[in-house]
Amino acid sequence: MRARSTSPKILPSLADLERQHDLGELKIKISGCINACGHHHVGHIGILGVDRKGVENYQILLGGSGAEDASLAKSSGPALTRKAFVDAVENVIATYES
């Protein structure tokens, strides 16, 4: 029996190759480990999966980089529900595009 992933479908709109080209390099990093994994801290958009009273939530971090000019992303606010999270990440990208 395969385990069913409960992760949200992140941004199907990014499957559009023209949009990818227009955006340029975009590093989205995700982690569910608050203690040891730093992936979410070094993404242009970082996503930290958190458990809130048994409910899956996601915190969005912005502005990280793992390149030579390394910087840690900053939290954009409290953790969001699955639906709100996907909409918020799309909003961040749309704001960047404009």
Supply the pTM of this predicted model: 0.73
Three-state DSSP class for residue 76? coil
One-letter amino acid of 10: I
Q: Is the pLDDT of residue 38 over 80?
A: no
**17 lies in some domain:** no
**68 lies in some domain:** yes
State the total domains in the chain.
1
CATH of the domain at 61: 3.30.413.10
Q: What is the pLDDT of residue 34?
A: 63
Q: Is the pLDDT of residue 70 over 50?
A: yes
- How far apart CA 54 and CA 68 sit, in angstroms, is 38
Q: Is the pLDDT of residue 43 over 80?
A: yes
Q: Is the pLDDT of residue 25 over 60?
A: yes
**91 lies in some domain:** yes
Q: What is the pLDDT of residue 4?
A: 45
Domain that residue 75 falls in: 27-97
Q: What is the pLDDT of residue 15?
A: 78
Stretch 5-12: mean pLDDT:
58
Three-state DSSP class for residue 94? helix
Q: What is the pLDDT of residue 10?
A: 66
Stretch 53-76: mean pLDDT:
85
